[in-house]
Each structure stands twice: as C-alpha cells, then as structure tokens.
C-alpha cells in the first residue's frame, strides 16, 4: 500500500502518546510513566474509516489499497510519535529541536494531553494539573521554533518582492504552498514584499501559518480517569480548537484482547463480544471496559483519527474504476482502491493521482453511480465512484 498522509502525535512527556500510538497502529512502542520514554520517533500505519461505496451499490468490494469490514472501508495513514515536548524546547531544552524536526513533514498534529490532570506540564506525576496549559505550551513552542527559522532569514527575505515564493522555498520542509503563505500574511495583516518584519510580526505570521499548514486536534486522553465535567471545561478553555475526549489505554487493551482472540472488537465500536476463554481477572477487566465504552460511546480513538483526516485536513474518499458498469479494475476487482483526496479536487486531479500520462490524455470522466459523463473540471464528492476516460 502507498501511504502519503502523515499525522504527528505530539505533546508533553508522559501524556499517553505512545499508548495512543500503539493502540492505533498495533505497534508495541515503549510505554512507561516517566518523561522521554520516546527518544527516537515511532513510525507506524493506522487506519481511518468511511462507509464503503459497496454498501449502496449492492456489490462486494475487493480492496487492494485498503481494508473493508462490516461495510466500513478503512484507509491507511502514516503516524509518527515523536519525543515529548517541554517548555523551552525551541531553545533546545528536553529533546528540543529533535522533536520539532521530527514533526516538520506532518500534515496535521494530534496533541495528546492528560485530561485527568495527574501529570504536570513537564510530564512529572502531579495532581490537579491544567491540560489547557499543555496545549498552549506546545502551540507556543512550535510557533517560536518556526518564527526563529523565519527571523534568521529576514535579511535575505527583504531582498525579494515575491515573499510568498521566497517563504515557500525557505520552508519547503513544511510542504507549505505560496498560497498558504499569502493566506497567513493576510490573516496577520503583513506585506510579503521586501519582508522586514520584527520579531512580534514574525511570530504572528508563524502562528497563522501553523493553523493553516499544521492543524492541531487535541486528544484529551485518560478520560476514563478524569473527573466529571473535565472535558467540557477543557473545551471551554480551548474554544476554536477541536477537542476529543478519549482513552488510549482502554482502546489498546481492547485491540490486544481482539488480537489474542479473546474478544471480537472493531475499533470505534461501542460494544464487543467475548469469543475466547477468560479468567476471573480478565472477566472483571472486560466488564469495566464494556461499561466504559457503552457509557462513553466508545473510546473515541477512531473518531479522533477520522476527525483529523476528514475535518481538519478536509479529505474525501474517491473510488477510481475502469469498468463503470461492474465497478471494477481491469482484473475484475470490485472497488479496488479508495483514495484520500483533498476536498475541492477535480476529476482531472484524480486522473493525475492515478498516473500523469492518464491525466495528459484525459478526455472526460464518468460517474459510475449515475453513468453520467463528467467534465475534467467536475468537483469530486465524498464517496464518488469515477472512471477516467483517457487516450493513454
């Protein structure tokens, strides 16, 4: 499978990042109750889910680049779990710039915070700590890091009239486009011609660019151990940000139990069935977890990933086919590929995603559901099944 989308797991130390990483990727990351458990970034593949197009078409899919279970098509995304971030990281404290460099290529960030308040901003055991302070700290550290990079190059930037292009070249590792630079400058009320910003202006621009280029979703972790009302209070403090209450530990336990054949559990579900022999301790633990996911509408870990991809990044799912009557590729596979595309993508963009030669020779597209002919400029919709007609 070719996986291009990258989500970074970030946060202060000891907030459950590695537990969340293991739960969503089935990779055994090192997990412990002390700071800087993660030194080198953990890399893995997780899945986001959407109702499969085969449900409405009355066919059974044969996925190639994804998996399908109980009518849910699950598509792979890359996950990186980087070292914990502490105050002053942009100046080299803690794992410092190593952390920041590890996340530069991420398309979006999921910040894991301790909703129970039992670890402080440095990851040490505590009581009554403020998870909102963690969010502000991480956002500020990443902003300062980016502002430092830009500010060091102000003398060179001041010589360019095409500041949008100059910044895109300087920050090529971010994958930020000149258009994103213009948007960030507009939001900051700054000119991009002969850039001569002071430190405050540079910081303001960096903050706006990160909102566009690195959206942050807050994973309010350890919800099963948090006080009643803690999630609502955090959301009130972080108005304007997407905040998900979740329990990575419960999700990880359920995933491991399913892998051992003890239970039948699909990530995101609000219940499971016991399929294997359990001892009294396991029975007690499963009863606790069943009660928790029933009352909380699941662990919310799957919802967290879906929100990051489909809401924060605005992705849609499109199914390219070669036979619009049978919904198959040339080998007869039904709905073989489910592609994550940007909202607003066109039929031509889909052709280019499949192969550059197909795009060059593209004549038109066909909506396999309605059998209608579509122009190259047709804007794709979530769940579309599309055939590209090309001379190549």
Q: Which two tokens stand for residue 220?
A: 């309010």
Cβ neighbours of 363 (radius 10 Å): 11
d(CA 36, CA 58): 50
Cα distances (angstroms) measured from residue 10 to each of 44, 101, 112, 160, 281: 15, 12, 6, 34, 33
pTM comes to 0.86
Write down the pLDDT at residue 305: 93
Residue 199, both tokens: 């430190």
Give the number of other Cβ atoms within 10 Å of residue 217's Cβ.
Answer: 21
Give the containing element (helix H, strand E) for 236: helix 230-237
pLDDT of the chain, 392 residues: tens digit per residue = 445 799 999 888 888 988 999 999 865 433 334 333 444 567 889 999 999 999 999 999 999 999 998 899 999 999 998 867 766 656 655 444 566 677 788 999 999 999 999 988 888 888 889 999 989 988 898 899 899 999 999 999 999 999 999 999 999 988 889 999 999 999 999 999 999 999 999 999 999 999 999 999 999 999 999 999 999 999 999 998 999 999 999 999 999 999 999 999 988 899 999 999 999 999 999 999 999 999 999 999 999 999 999 999 999 999 999 999 999 999 999 999 999 999 999 999 999 999 999 999 999 999 999 999 999 999 999 999 999 999 97
> Residue 352 and residue 343: Cα distance in Å, rounded?
15
Query: Rounded CA gap, 217 and 115, in Å?
Result: 14
Instruction: Output the pLDDT for position 96.
Output: 46
- Phi then psi for 90, rounded to 5 degrees? -65, -15
What whole-number distance in Å separates Cα of residue 276 and Cα of residue 75?
Answer: 29
Q: Check: CB of residue 386 under 8 Å from CB of residue 379.
A: no
Rounded Cα gap, residues 341 and 378, in angstroms: 14
Are the beta carbons of 84 and 11 closer than 8 angstroms?
Answer: yes
Find all residues with CB under 8 Å of 288, minimum gap 6, and list them. none
Question: Where do we find the tokens 């909703």?
Answer: 115
Q: What is the C-alpha separation between 170 and 176, in angstroms, rounded?
A: 10
* DSSP states of 67-95: EEETTEEEEEEEEEEPPP--TTGGGT-TT
The residue among 49, 104, 50, 48 whose CA lies nearest residue 78 is: 48
What pairing do the DSSP bridges indicate for beta strands 72-81 and 242-245?
A: unpaired
Q: Are 103 and 90 in contact (CB under 8 A)?
A: no
Distance in angstroms (rounded) separating the CA atoms of residues 47 and 233 = 30
Distance (Å, rounded) from C-alpha 105 to C-alpha 232?
Answer: 32
Name residue 340's beta-bridge partners.
Answer: 317
CA 138/CA 144 separation, integer angstroms: 10
What letter would DSSP give residue 41? P
Any idea which residue has 């899919």 for tokens? 61
DSSP run (H or E) holding 179? helix 178-188
In the chain, what are the domain boundaries?
A: 316-390
> How far, in whole angstroms, is CA 318 from its chain's centroid?
18
142 and 203 in contact (C-beta within 8 Å)?
Answer: no
Contact 157, 167 (CB under 8 A): yes
Residues 6+ apart with CB under 8 A from 322: 328, 329, 330, 387
Cα–Cα distance, 76 to 101 (Å, whole number): 23
CATH topology of domain 316-390: Ubiquitin-like (UB roll) (3.10.20)
- Rounded to whole angstroms, what are the CA distances from 171 to 10, 15, 109, 176? 20, 30, 17, 7
The encoded tokens of residue 115 equal 């909703």
**Which two structure tokens, joined as six digits, stand for 325?**
């009557």
């Amino acid at each position: 499978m070719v996986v291009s989308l990258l989500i970074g797991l970030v946060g202060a130390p000891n907030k459950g990042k590695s537990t969340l990483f293991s739960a969503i990727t089935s990779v055994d990351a090192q997990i412990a109750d002390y700071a800087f458990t993660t030194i080198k970034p953990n890399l893995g593949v997780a899945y986001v889910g959407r109702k499969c197009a085969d449900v409405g078409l009355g066919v059974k899919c044969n996925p190639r680049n994804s998996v399908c279970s109980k009518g849910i098509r699950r598509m792979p995304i890359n996950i990186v779990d980087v070292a914990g971030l502490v105050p002053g990281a942009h100046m080299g404290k803690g794992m410092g710039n190593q952390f920041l460099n590890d996340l530069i290529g991420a398309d979006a960030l999921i910040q894991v915070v301790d909703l129970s308040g039992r670890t402080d901003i440095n990851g040490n055991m505590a009581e009554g700590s403020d998870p909102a302070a963690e969010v502000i700290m991480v956002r500020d550290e990443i902003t300062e890091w980016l502002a430092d990079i830009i500010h060091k190059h102000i003398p060179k930037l001041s010589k360019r009239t095409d500041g949008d292009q100059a910044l895109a070249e300087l920050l090529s590792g971010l994958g930020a486009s000149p258009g994103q630079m213009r948007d960030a400058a507009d939001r900051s009320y700054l000119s991009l011609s002969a850039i001569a910003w002071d430190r405050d202006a540079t910081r303001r621009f960096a903050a706006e660019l990160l909102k566009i280029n690195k959206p942050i979703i807050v994973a309010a972790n350890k919800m099963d151990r948090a006080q009643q009302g803690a999630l609502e209070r955090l959301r009130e403090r972080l108005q304007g940000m997407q905040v998900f209450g979740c329990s990575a530990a419960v999700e990880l336990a359920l995933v491991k139990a399913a892998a051992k054949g003890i239970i039948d559990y699909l990530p995101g579900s609000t219940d499971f069935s016991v399929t294997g022999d359990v001892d009294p301790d396991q029975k007690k633990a499963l009863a606790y977890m069943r009660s928790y996911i029933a009352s909380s509408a699941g662990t919310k870990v799957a919802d967290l990933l879906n929100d990051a991809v489909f809401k924060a990044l605005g992705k849609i799912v499109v199914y390219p086919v070669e036979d619009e009557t049978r919904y198959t590729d040339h080998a007869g596979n039904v709905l073989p590929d489910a592609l994550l595309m940007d909202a607003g993508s066109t039929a031509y963009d889909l052709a280019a995603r499949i192969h550059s030669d197909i795009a060059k020779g593209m004549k038109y597209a066909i909506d396999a559901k309605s059998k209608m002919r579509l122009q190259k400029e047709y804007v794709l919709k979530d769940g579309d099944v599309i055939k590209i007609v090309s001379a190549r």
